[in-house]
A and B are shown apart, each in its own frame.
Chain A
Amino acid sequence: DTEVTQTPKHLVMGMTNKKSLKCEQHMGHRAMYWYKQKAKKPPELMFVYSYEKLSINESVPSRFSPECPNSSLLNLHLHALQPEDSALYLCASSQARVNYGYTFGSGTRLTVV
């Protein structure tokens, strides 16, 4: 299994809703990442988990809350989002924290209304 699986593929949520994005990999990777990508822009790093511990938070607003229940799963909990948070949210994993390219999931396209 060489894939990173993200669910759901599309999500529409209101500004008062609570929702979660899910990411799963079975490649034995010990580092997992959340990226946000706006249209016609490159992906921007949000969070890095290494060995199931949060190692990097790129000053992301607290309305985004990551969770890593185990080495294969990564969640992103969403609450009280704003319309400008609408974007493609990409999960990625890698064998190690440096020197290896990342494998990306197909993303969740989020629309906040």
Chain B
Amino acid sequence: RKEVEQDPGPFNVPEGATVAFNCTYSNSASQSFFWYRQDCRKEPKLLMSVYSSGNEDGRFTAQLNRASQYISLLIRDSKLSDSATYLCVVNTWEKLVFGTGTRLLVSP
């Protein structure tokens, strides 16, 4: 079983749609959680940290469920510029472990 699992997609959505990504992790000792965004042939960029209390940044909402070892990302009112790969990332024993990423394609 992979340490961090994501649906690779792609998710094809129209502009303005709401889209949700999910991620599960296997190590219950994992300590911190993130969503990164990676554009084609670019480096990963931190989108947001994820907390059990949930956190929101504009159109983006992230949630952590430690009991289920489940992480989610919700994007509201999708923009063309949101097209990218979204990486679920887990910090376990001082190492960041990346999921395989979920590709999002937002179309006009």
Instruction: Write the residues of chain A forming the contact surface with B, with a CB cutoff of 8 angstroms.
Output: 31, 33, 41-45, 48, 50, 55-56, 88, 90, 92, 97-107, 109
Residues of B within 8 Å of A103, CB to CB, are 46
B95 contacts A106, CB within 8 Å?
no
Chain B residues, Cβ within 8 Å of A50:
94
Among B11-19, B37-45, B57-65, B69-77, the one that faces the other chain is B37-45
Query: When the two chains form the complex, which single residue of B45, B87, B94, B95 contacts A42, counting CB atoms closer than 8 Å?
Result: B87
Task: State whether A105 touches B96 (Cβ < 8 A).
Answer: no
Which residue numbers of B lie inside 8 Å of A, CB to CB? 31-32, 34, 36, 41-46, 49, 87, 89, 91, 94-101
Contact of A104 (CB < 8 Å), options: B45, B49, B94, B97: B45
- Point out the residues of chain A lying under 8 angstroms from B41, CB to CB: 88, 109
- A31, A50, A104, A107, most chain B CB atoms within 10 A: A104
A101 touches B43 (CB 8 A): no
Q: Which 3 A-B pairs have the closest CB atoms?
A: A42-B98, A101-B46, A104-B43
- Closest chain A CB from B89 CB (angstroms): 8
Q: For residue A4, which residue of chain B has the nearest CB?
A: B43
Name B96's closest neighbour in chain A (CB-CB).
A102
Interface of chain B, helix or strand or loop or mixed?
Answer: strand
Q: Told that A41-B100, A88-B41, A103-B46 touch, could you supply 12 new A-B pairs with CB distance under 8 A?
A: A42-B99, A45-B97, A48-B94, A56-B94, A90-B43, A98-B32, A98-B94, A99-B32, A101-B34, A101-B46, A101-B89, A102-B96
Inter-chain contact A105/B43, CB cutoff 8 Å: yes
Taking CB as reference atom, which chain A residue is nearest B47? Answer: A101
Complex interface: chain A residues within 8 A of B31 (CB): 98-99
Chain A residues with Cβ below 8 Å from B87 are 42
Task: Name the residue of chain B whose CB is nearest to the CB of A31.
Answer: B94
Which residues of chain B are within 8 angstroms of A33 by Cβ–Cβ distance? 96
The smallest beta-carbon distance between A67 and chain B, in angstroms, is 20
CB–CB B43/A45 < 8 A: no
Contact across chains for A106 and B42 when beta carbons are under 8 A apart = yes
Chain A residues, CB < 8 A from B97: 45
